[in-house]
Structure 1
């Protein structure tokens, strides 16, 4: 039986620890700012206008680790957790977190190295917690995955690494990535509650708490960034909660879980397609054409005047739009996505809405022609709109 009081305590303790750690990072930035401050103001993906510490991932890790540590040390601690299994997951997150943190401090870690680190974390989780997907609710595919366990591990590693990197991709404005993860974890927590899976719900509530504690400092003023370390850590945590939910609960269909986590995945896949097919550049090349960036440039900057007293205000509006979007799709998914058919329908609708809104932001008007969004156009004037 799931105790809601215990769940709230878990999130509250994680939030408090994360919040305190976030404040300590800010108050001590004169000591570590030489390495931790994001000084690349005005870069192709930079919106902020002053140096900000980008090591908020430390606070996120502290938020979760402190609760697990306190429970391990004191059996009478206010919250009750399976500390051994949680410690395994924290250990598995180490490659992704540390590689991201090194990038935050040095700006010298390649994209390939960071991708390999997230893959390593996924493989560690598969080994330590037996967290590999042998079921995708695809006819024929499930039988193959069960027949070839190494293939199941490989598929899981790619999926986990993909989600971890997708959170890093959407981390461009104050509160966007943090609120997105909170909402998606809340959706997964609801599904785990329906399945009476206490362990997975513990994982979700720990992630929610740590992210909320960080958001108290990050949003709306952006005094601390989660950085690559934080994005990879939160993304890995989200992905593993999703994987474990599917593995441990046969009645939860994999497509419903994917639909809960769909937004960042859609963003990454469409960005890769857009860069490779439409713009004919490297799929990993940075640009300012993510949906959240387009919303900022094409809507916020045009309709909301800059406020010198609150220079962060326009930046903060983006999270309101994105969190509303993600909350809506998550709510629909958990309410009606309990069958494979319904979940696939929700996912397809999400993709179509994303493409329609994206095309609207690029072109400045609604365009019913799907060929435009897919890059099948000959007009040079249309092509320039996507550059």
Structure 2
């Protein structure tokens, strides 16, 4: 039944997206080209509505329930995020208002829904209880991942594809863990996203806009919490690895803006996809390369979750070195980050 619902979400998204495209054009929810953006013509956005409506269709058909999670809080938070994204696609909200919407959604999930990272079990015995910090830590995770997906939404099909790969990994690991709820939500969201991706892959006919990027980021952040909260240090790292591409790109963006004395929300053209384009790769090849990186992170996450502690440590070390090599080769950071790269190179030499 779950896989049939995934297919129905896929078909629903295919059927709804052209209607959303017409709506976006009619109400003026379009993305204008400028010096910072890659596209050269006016593009309809609001595509996130197609993903959201298809997801709702799948949820109403499957009606997944859980004794451990507050499903209503998750859906209510998703509604607030999608409303925030739709408003931004239409009238372009200020960064503060967008952040407020995300904080409200995260607060509902964490405080009302009770979904929190309360503790982690240490590898050599004992527990690390977060206590009162569990609420802000969980909220920061949700808001951080939500914005990470939003930040990589810079090329046709990029955010939708990376999100799909993350959802495949999360849903697959949920199947092995026997978590039917996370698997069900992940798969119906995957079907909805893949249907939209048919219209969003290069050359795109419609953008997902903030409505799509924020909703996908929010849902992925919550699903990763549901699947891996209150576990060991090893398992706690798994969702970080799964979302390695958007997290690392966001981390470097924050460092870049702090060093350059810019606002953290200030846009620039130094993200991973921009750097690959600057190296001469085509739009399509750049997106496919980042898909490959995301798939690599997903595979590493699966291996990491099944390995012993020492093997997991070696996997993380190898992953850090791979990130350092990629960052240095493609020029994701400049000379102002040399101390960071030197530190990573020192680890590689050892």
TM range (shorter): 0.7 to 0.9
- Is the partner of 1:202 in helix, strand or coil? helix
Query: Which residue in the other structure is 2:345 paired with?
Result: none
Give, in whole Å, the separation in 2 of the partners of 1:363 and 1:27.
37
Q: Contact 1:100–1:227 (CA<8 Å) still a contact in 2? A: yes
Asked if 1:356 is matched to 2:325, the reply is yes
Q: Deviations over 1:205-252 (max 9, x none)?
A: 122111101101111221111111110100000000000112387798
Give, in whole Å, the separation in 1 of the partners of 2:331 and 2:222.
34
Give, in whole Å, the separation in 1 of the partners of 2:300 and 2:106.
29
Is there any run of 5+ residues in structure 2 with no aligned partner, and where? 343-350
Asked if 1:101 is matched to 2:83, the reply is no
Q: Contact 2:14–2:198 (CA<8 Å) still a contact in 1? A: yes
Give, in whole Å, the separation in 2 of the partners of 1:265 and 1:219.
22
Q: Contact 2:148–2:246 (CA<8 Å) still a contact in 1? A: yes
Give, in whole Å, the separation in 1 of the partners of 2:109 and 2:276.
36
Of 12, 18, 21, the residue aligned with 2:13 is 18
Give, in whole Å, the separation in 2 of the partners of 1:325 and 1:356.
13
Shift of the 296–216 alpha-carbon distance from structure 1 to 2, 3 Å rule, reads same
Greater mean deviation of Cα atoms: 134-143 or 56-65? 134-143
Shift of the 178–344 alpha-carbon distance from structure 1 to 2, 3 Å rule, reads farther
TM-score, normalised by the number of residues in structure 2: 0.87
Of 269, 275, 295, the residue aligned with 1:288 is 269
Give, in whole Å, the separation in 2 of the partners of 1:94 and 1:363.
35
Q: Deviations over 1:44-94 (max 9, x none)?
A: 1x111111111011111101111223x3xxxxxxx4632995444221112
Is there any run of 5+ residues in structure 1 with no aligned partner, and where? 1-5, 72-78, 301-313, 377-387
Query: Which residue in the other structure is 2:55 paired with?
Result: 64
Query: Which residue in the other structure is 2:251 paired with?
Result: 269
Of 301, 323, 346, the residue aligned with 1:333 is 301
Give, in whole Å, the separation in 2 of the partners of 1:362 and 1:168.
22
Give, in whole Å, the separation in 2 of the partners of 1:243 and 1:21.
30
Say which one has the larger Rg: 1
Shift of the 127–342 alpha-carbon distance from structure 1 to 2, 3 Å rule, reads farther
Query: Which residue in the other structure is 1:74 paired with?
Result: none
Query: Which residue in the other structure is 1:180 paired with?
Result: 162
TM-score, normalised by the number of residues in structure 1: 0.79
CA drift of 1:287 comes to: 0.8
Aligned length: 338
Shift of the 363–187 alpha-carbon distance from structure 1 to 2, 3 Å rule, reads closer
Asked if 1:129 is matched to 2:113, the reply is yes
Asked if 1:48 is matched to 2:39, the reply is yes
Greater mean deviation of Cα atoms: 162-171 or 95-104? 95-104
CA drift of 1:157 comes to: 0.5
CA drift of 1:352 comes to: 3.3
Q: Contact 1:137–1:340 (CA<8 Å) still a contact in 2? A: no
Asked if 1:37 is matched to 2:30, the reply is yes
Q: Contact 2:122–2:232 (CA<8 Å) still a contact in 1? A: no
Give, in whole Å, the separation in 2 of the partners of 1:47 and 1:17.
29
- Is the partner of 1:299 in helix, strand or coil? coil
Give, in whole Å, the separation in 2 of the partners of 1:375 and 1:52.
38
Query: Which residue in the other structure is 2:103 paired with?
Result: 119
Q: Contact 2:174–2:182 (CA<8 Å) still a contact in 1? A: yes
Asked if 1:298 is matched to 2:283, the reply is no
Query: Which residue in the other structure is 2:340 paired with?
Result: 374
Q: Contact 1:26–1:224 (CA<8 Å) still a contact in 2? A: yes
Greater mean deviation of Cα atoms: 84-93 or 193-202? 84-93
Query: Which residue in the other structure is 2:212 paired with?
Result: 230
Shift of the 94–27 alpha-carbon distance from structure 1 to 2, 3 Å rule, reads closer
Q: Deviations over 1:263-309 (max 9, x none)?
A: 211111111112212x3433332111011111012131xxxxxxxxx
Give, in whole Å, the separation in 2 of the partners of 1:233 and 1:346.
31
CA drift of 1:136 comes to: 3.9
Query: Which residue in the other structure is 1:309 paired with?
Result: none
